[in-house]
């Protein structure tokens, strides 16, 4: 296939960025999207030009680093996958593909397609932990009976990989889905009850301090989430926050 690319190029955080046109010849449908970008960079390096900077790591849909806005959608046109799992067979010969970084105040551009998402890490550090002893003399996992319904919901919330697609999809750049997933994975389990009040208050406070917007209730975050994190988690976090606020 012959593919036309419009790639966001930006030297650094303070520079003015722009879309730059590139043409890719002989693109194979079995290539992953990131492999296609690898070939683009090989061509640019061969020409003595500066390659396109983009984040990647595991390339297995686990790490969440491949944060690309592809034709206006986080991770591209397919559902429940990350950008590294997107293949070029999802496009047609002669297609034009616009590739941009995630757009959010709390995700400032570092260079080209790379954004700084350490705001997510600070939200997790604010309360995403439990005080249960996990070293020395750990308690057997089966020592505390947990109903399967709650165990399954906690596990589903814990599948969030922190990629930021929910933020990129939201018109207000809200981090409610991400934060609620991190709250829910503990709130649903007895091990998470000890810090429950402080956790939700501290994580929501940090989320606001980072500059994320309010929830729009449109559901775009769940639709674009590569792990299908449910909006139910946002409702659960709101209940947890209200309960914590009443307890003082």
What's 24's domain CATH number? 3.10.20.30
- Is residue 64 domain-shared with residue 125, that is, in the same domain? no
Containing 120, the helix (H) or strand (E) segment is: helix 118-127
Average of per-residue pLDDT across 183-203? 95
Strand order in the sheet with 73-74: 18-24, 3-9, 96-100, 69-70, 73-74
Please report which confidence band the pLDDT of residue 143 belongs to, taking 50, 70 and 90 as the band edges.
confident
Domain boundary among 111, 142, 160: 111
Nearest in space to 76 (alpha carbons), one of 57, 95, 104: 95
Specify the CATH number for the domain of residue 203: 1.10.1060.10
Q: Domain count of the chain?
A: 2
Q: Is the pLDDT of residue 132 over 80?
A: no
Q: Give residue 196's domain range.
A: 117-247
Please report which confidence band the pLDDT of residue 248 belongs to, taking 50, 70 and 90 as the band edges.
low
Other Cβ atoms less than 10 A from the Cβ of 95: the count is 15
Structure tokens at 201: 């208050």
pLDDT at residue 110, as a whole number: 97
Q: Is the pLDDT of residue 134 over 70?
A: no
- Is residue 156 domain-shared with residue 73, that is, in the same domain? no
- Is residue 98 domain-shared with residue 121, that is, in the same domain? no
- Is residue 87 domain-shared with residue 195, that is, in the same domain? no
Average of per-residue pLDDT across 54-74? 97
Average of per-residue pLDDT across 78-107? 97
- Is residue 138 domain-shared with residue 43, that is, in the same domain? no
- Is residue 31 domain-shared with residue 63, that is, in the same domain? yes
- Is residue 99 domain-shared with residue 20, that is, in the same domain? yes
Average of per-residue pLDDT across 166-175? 97
pLDDT at residue 87, as a whole number: 98
Q: Lowest mean pLDDT: which of 141-145, 156-160, 240-244?
A: 141-145
Q: Is the pLDDT of residue 151 over 90?
A: yes
pLDDT at residue 247, as a whole number: 83
pLDDT at residue 200, as a whole number: 97
Please report which confidence band the pLDDT of residue 130 belongs to, taking 50, 70 and 90 as the band edges.
confident
- Is residue 99 domain-shared with residue 146, that is, in the same domain? no
pLDDT at residue 161, as a whole number: 98
pLDDT at residue 159, as a whole number: 97
- Is residue 97 domain-shared with residue 146, that is, in the same domain? no
Mean pLDDT of the chain: 95
Domain boundary among 111, 134, 155: 111
Average of per-residue pLDDT across 4-17? 97
Domain boundary among 92, 111, 130: 111
pLDDT at residue 150, as a whole number: 95
Average of per-residue pLDDT across 11-32? 97
- Is residue 54 domain-shared with residue 68, that is, in the same domain? yes
Nearest in space to 117 (alpha carbons), one of 98, 104, 127, 100: 104
pLDDT > 90: percent of the chain:
91
Q: pTM value?
A: 0.94
- Is residue 162 domain-shared with residue 124, that is, in the same domain? yes
pLDDT at residue 136, as a whole number: 73
Q: Is the pLDDT of residue 139 over 90?
A: no
- Is residue 139 domain-shared with residue 98, that is, in the same domain? no
């Amino acid at each position: 296939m012959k593919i036309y690319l419009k790639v966001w190029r930006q030297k650094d955080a303070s520079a003015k960025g722009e879309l730059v046109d590139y043409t890719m010849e002989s693109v194979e449908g079995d290539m992953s999207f990131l492999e296609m970008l690898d070939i683009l960079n090989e061509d640019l390096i061969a020409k003595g030009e500066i390659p396109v900077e983009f984040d990647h790591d595991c390339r297995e849909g686990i790490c969440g680093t491949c944060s690309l806005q592809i034709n206006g959608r986080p991770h591209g046109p397919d559902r429940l996958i990350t950008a590294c799992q997107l293949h070029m067979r999802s496009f047609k010969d002669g297609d034009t593909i616009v590739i941009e970084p995630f757009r959010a105040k709390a995700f400032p551009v570092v260079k080209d397609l790379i954004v700084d998402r350490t705001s997510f890490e600070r939200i997790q550090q604010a309360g995403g932990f439990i005080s249960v002893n996990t070293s020395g003399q750990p308690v057997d996992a089966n020592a505390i009976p947990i109903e399967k319904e709650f165990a399954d919901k906690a596990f589903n919330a814990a599948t969030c990989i922190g990629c930021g697609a929910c933020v990129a999809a939201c018109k207000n750049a809200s981090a409610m889905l991400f934060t609620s997933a991190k709250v829910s994975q503990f709130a649903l389990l007895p091990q998470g009850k000890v810090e429950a009040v402080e956790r939700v208050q501290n994580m929501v406070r940090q989320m606001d301090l980072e500059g994320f917007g309010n929830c729009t209730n449109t559901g775009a975050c769940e639709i674009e989430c590569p792990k299908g994190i449910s909006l139910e988690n946002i409702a659960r976090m709101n209940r947890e926050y209200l309960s914590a606020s009443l307890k003082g």
